[in-house]
A = this chain, B = another copy of it.
């Protein structure tokens, strides 16, 4: 009787490498799949390593453009700052990886999909809900969650099965990275009173080591999408990666966050999002001059919901499409250019302009050019304040009445 087949999300690291012989022991042929979503992996090496530790097939997929255009762009336009601090890094790549895994599973006629997540993180939820949404007939396996080994036990198993144990095995950190950013946790950072150590960071210099001279970038947006950097048109994935470099060398985009995971615990995470930080800041400022007030005041409600939906692994729930339909409609007029000063960890917007700017200098000015009708204010104030005034009168909340 033939083996069952499992498609494994393969990173090249210890956990998913050990998973290959382990899955074989459970009776599966393993198809390894490794995606590049902008973390700068050596894909060839990873592809070979999978085969070397026992996979029957090994796929590598460059998904940078799809990730930028369909996932990172949503986070940018919707300002998806989870809990006002975490701009979604891993949460964005998981649904795309799940989609690719299911595509390979369908193509290779596989019975199951496997991921390398533990039982206490958010990513297991994101993977499993996405996979089941895309093909409910696939079994989902979580070897790391299931074997529940200590690090020592895992290394012992690796050695026994000829899985190379990396030299960095002593690193206390647990890292995930894509072009939108880098997440790091564990080790000393588990104590929220202790500052994250410098070695926890990988994409940014410290403010102390940032140059003493600022650098300026101009970003051009068309319908809420960055299309050019310093006047040069670039596709989005390249633009983000380029900005990661520029902003990273100025120490922009470090985040230290104690966040609420979906699985019910608080966890301390360190993020680096140099390019994303610049883009998110610039995009918001462009919206400040192009979105009508009523939209500007309601969009954050939609943004917060969309952040939670994506964080919580519900990318393939219909609510994501409906929330994004709102966002997309708002972006029609988000056209223009933003000038950003990068300096000592800051991304400071110094100027913004737009053909769709609703900022009207003639209405705003205090100079002689003033076109605003000051007399209108009297009637406005009377009716605007009427409910407040009536409530005070009726309920005797006035201080005293002459």
Contact = CB atoms under 8 A, between A and B. Distances in A.
A390 B374 contact: no
Interface in A236-273: 256-260, 262-268
A225 interface: no
Contacts of A313: 384-385
Contacts of A389: 129, 132-133, 136
Interface string A145-160: 1001010000000000
Contacts of A84: 284, 300
A231 to B, nearest CB: 16
A292 B263 contact: no
A128 interface: yes
A144 to B, nearest CB: 9
A9 to B, nearest CB: 16
A125 B294 contact: no
A325 B323 contact: no
Contacts of A365: 186, 190
A365 B189 CA distance: 10
Residue picked from A119, A138, A299, most chain B C-beta under 10 Å: A119
A316 interface: yes
A394 B297 contact: no
Interface stretch (A43-51, A65-73, A301-309): A301-309
A125 B385 CA distance: 8
A273 to B, nearest CB: 15
Interface string A366-387: 1110101111111111111111
Contacts of A368: 150
A63 interface: no
A283 interface: no
A376 B268 CA distance: 21
A385 to B, nearest CB: 3
B329 A391 contact: no
A61 interface: no
A298 B319 contact: yes
A205 B345 CA distance: 16
A305 B299 CA distance: 11
A133 B397 contact: yes
Interface stretch (A19-27, A101-109, A161-169, A176-184): A101-109
A361 interface: yes
B268 A192 contact: no
A138 B318 contact: no
B374 A119 contact: yes
Interface string A130-141: 001111111000
A129 B384 contact: yes
A391 B351 contact: no
A260 B288 CA distance: 8
18 contacts: A118-B366, A134-B392, A136-B392, A136-B393, A145-B378, A266-B359, A291-B318, A300-B304, A301-B305, A317-B388, A322-B329, A344-B346, A356-B394, A375-B379, A376-B382, A376-B383, A378-B379, A379-B380
